[in-house]
Amino acid sequence: MMIEQIEKLKARLQLPLPGIIAQMRMAPPTRTRNMDIPASARQSGVMILLVEGDKELNTILIRRTEDGNTHSGQISFPGGKKDPNDAHIEHTALRECEEEIGILRHEIQVLGQLTPLYIPPSNFWVTPTIGFIEKVLAFKPSEREVQEIIKVPFSLLFDKRIREERTVKRSDMKDMDMKTPVYALNDEIIIWGATAMILSELQVVWNDL
């Protein structure tokens, strides 16, 4: 059944995506629908890694280390900026996934991609790639970049009861708070901003299966 779901998801990703309409359901109030993307925007890729576990699909999130950078301490997908040696943005996501959580890139089956999203605070133009791996024996988090690896079952992630509004610290102005839609897995794991917007599109795609 799980492999059948993966094949359906792969086929769905080849069709037109819900895009910005789905993303905006979880957008911060500072986000506008028609946001100009500057020429200086840096290409980056994130990996939405799907993993079997407890008879259902899970995805892998990370909590970034507290290093003072723009997204310090936030919950995100493994990922980062495109390297000159990356042949394609898909390769960026695979490489970053390997570097940050220790999953070898050749073990990941790439299913497709979601709609690219611009992140103003870091000036990143992010393309989410969706990959699948049947089993993970062990994660190897990067000591420099990853504080915590978080495995989340779809049954929890897409439970409408965890979608709410919370007050968070802005990424671009850390001394200012704002109220924004979040996925509140618990009081310690709050997903918002670009990661929540990406998950919102993934949820719409998943519901189409």
Q: Write the pLDDT tens digit of every residue in 181-207.
A: 999 999 999 999 999 999 999 999 999
Task: Specify the pLDDT at position 201.
Answer: 98
Residue 92 domain boundaries? 2-207
CB-neighbour burial class of residue 175 (10 A; exposed 0-12, middle 13-18, buried 19+): exposed
Residue 32: predicted pLDDT: 85
Distance set, CA 117 to CA 11, 44, 69, 193 (Å): 22, 10, 20, 11
Greatest Cα pair distance, the chain, in angstroms, is 48
Q: Give yes or no for a contact between 49 and 59, defined as CB atoms under 8 angstroms apart.
A: yes
**pLDDT tens readout for residues 88-136:** 999 999 999 999 999 999 999 999 999 999 998 889 999 999 999 998 8
Q: How many CA atoms lie within 13 A of 5 on its CB side?
A: 15
What is the model's pLDDT at position 55? 84
State the CATH number of the domain containing residue 72.
3.90.79.10
Q: How many domains does the chain have?
A: 1
What distance in Å separates the CA atoms of residue 68 and residue 12, rounded to the nearest whole number? 38
Tokens standing for residue 183: 């996925």
- At residue 176 the predicted structure's pLDDT band, cuts being 50, 70 and 90, is confident
Tell me the two tokens of residue 20.
Answer: 């910005």
- Mean pLDDT value across residues 145-167: 95
pLDDT tens column, 12-67:
999 999 999 999 999 999 888 888 899 999 999 999 999 998 889 999 999 998 76
Give backbone dihedrals phi and psi of 103, rounded to 5 degrees, phi first: -90, 120
Residue 63 CA to its chain's centroid (Å) = 11
Output the DSSP codes for 110-132. Answer: EEEE---EEETTTTEEEEEEEEE
The answer to whether 189 and 150 are in contact (CB under 8 A) is: yes
Q: Is residue 159 predicted with pLDDT exceeding 90?
A: yes
Task: Name the pLDDT band for 208 (thresholds 50, 70, 90).
Answer: very high
CB 11 within 8 A of CB 47: no
- How much is the pTM? 0.94
